[in-house]
Structure 1
Amino acid sequence: MITTRQDGYEIDTDPGRFDIAKVHNWLSTDAFWALGRSRDVVERSIQASLNFGIYASDGTQVAYARVVTDLTTFAWLCDVYVDRAHRGKGLGTWLAATVRDHLAPYELKRIILSTLDAHEVYKKVGFVPFPDPEKLMILA
C-alpha cells in the first residue's frame, strides 16, 4: 500500500523498504519509551507487526509506526516516530490517519495506543482517552 501527499511524502507498508538501521537508531536513542532497545528486538518487532514508513520525495525514510494486531478484534498502535528534521509538517497526524484508515475494513473492536505527549496529534484522527482506565491492567 502506498499513499502519497502533494508535497511528495509517501507512506508505504512494504517491509523491504524500511531502513531498519534508521528505525533502530530513532527508537533506541531518541524515543523515551524504547531507549536502549536492541537491534535484534527492533528487527523481530518489525517482522511480527504491521508496519508503516513515511518517505521523503528522495526516498529516505523520515517516520515509522508499527501496529501489533490480529486483524480481527484488536490493534495496538505503537513505536510512532517522526524524524526531528521533518516534524511540524503534519506527518504524525497523517501517519495516524493512514493507520486508522488501513485498519477500518477489519472492523476491529478496539484500537489502542499509549502516549505521553502527543494527545493532540491522535485526537485529530479520532482517538479519545480510554473510557474506563480502571479496567486496564499490566503485567509488571
Structure 2
Amino acid sequence: MPNPPEYEISDDPARLDVALIHHWLSADAYWALGRHLATQQRAIAASHNFGTYLTSSGRQVGYARVVTDRATFAWLCDVYIDPAHRGRGLGGQLVDAVNEHLAPYELRRTLLATHDAHEVYRRAGFRELARPDHLMQRGPR
C-alpha cells in the first residue's frame, strides 16, 4: 500500500526527532513507560531507525526501529504512530517499509512483541509463534 501523499517514510537518521521519540515512548507506549532519554539514545544508535514524516513540514509523526545482524535475525520494536495520525494505516505502512528494507537480507526470522496490535502485524505477514515454548527471556516478567 503506498503512503498517503501527505506522509513519507525515511530511514535517514538525521531526520529523527530523538526528543519527540523519547517523549512518545516514555510517556505513552506501554512497553517503554519511564524509559530514560539516555537509554533511548543508545537504542537509536544501535538500531536501524525509520520515521514517518509529514510531507508538507517534515514533522515526524511515526517511528520504528529494527535490531538485526543483517544475516539471520531481526527484532522489530518501538513501532509508534502519533495519536493524532492514527487510523490512517500509517503503522502498517511503516512496518511494510521495514519489511521491504529487510527483504534483501533473506533473514531466517523477524520477531516482535505486541500487546494490542496483532492485526496490524498479521497484515504485514507476522503470525503467532509456532513454538513459543522454544523462546526464553532473561529480565523482568
Which TM-score applies when normalising by structure 2? 0.95
Deviations 1:30-49 (A, max 9, x none): 00100010110111100000
Q: Distance in 2 between matches of 1:93 and 1:117?
A: 14
Runs of 4+ more than 3 Å apart: none
Structure 1: segments with no counterpart, 5+ residues: none
Which residue number corresponds to residue 62 of structure 1? 61
Which residue number corresponds to residue 47 of structure 1? 45
Q: Distance in 1 between matches of 2:40 and 2:95?
A: 20
What is the identity percentage for the equivalent residue pairs of Structure 1 and Structure 2?
56
SS of the residue corresponding to residue 122 of structure 1 reads helix
Deviation at 1:125, TM superposition (A): 1.1
Q: Distance in 2 between matches of 1:28 and 1:79?
A: 11
Higher relative contact order (CA 8 A, sep 6+): 2
* Pairs aligned (count): 137
Q: Distance in 2 between matches of 1:128 and 1:42?
A: 27
Which TM-score applies when normalising by structure 1? 0.95
Tell me the C-alpha RMSD between the 2 structures: 0.9
Deviations 1:38-69 (A, max 9, x none): 11011110000000000012210000000011
1:18 is aligned with what amino acid?
L
SS of the residue corresponding to residue 137 of structure 1 reads coil
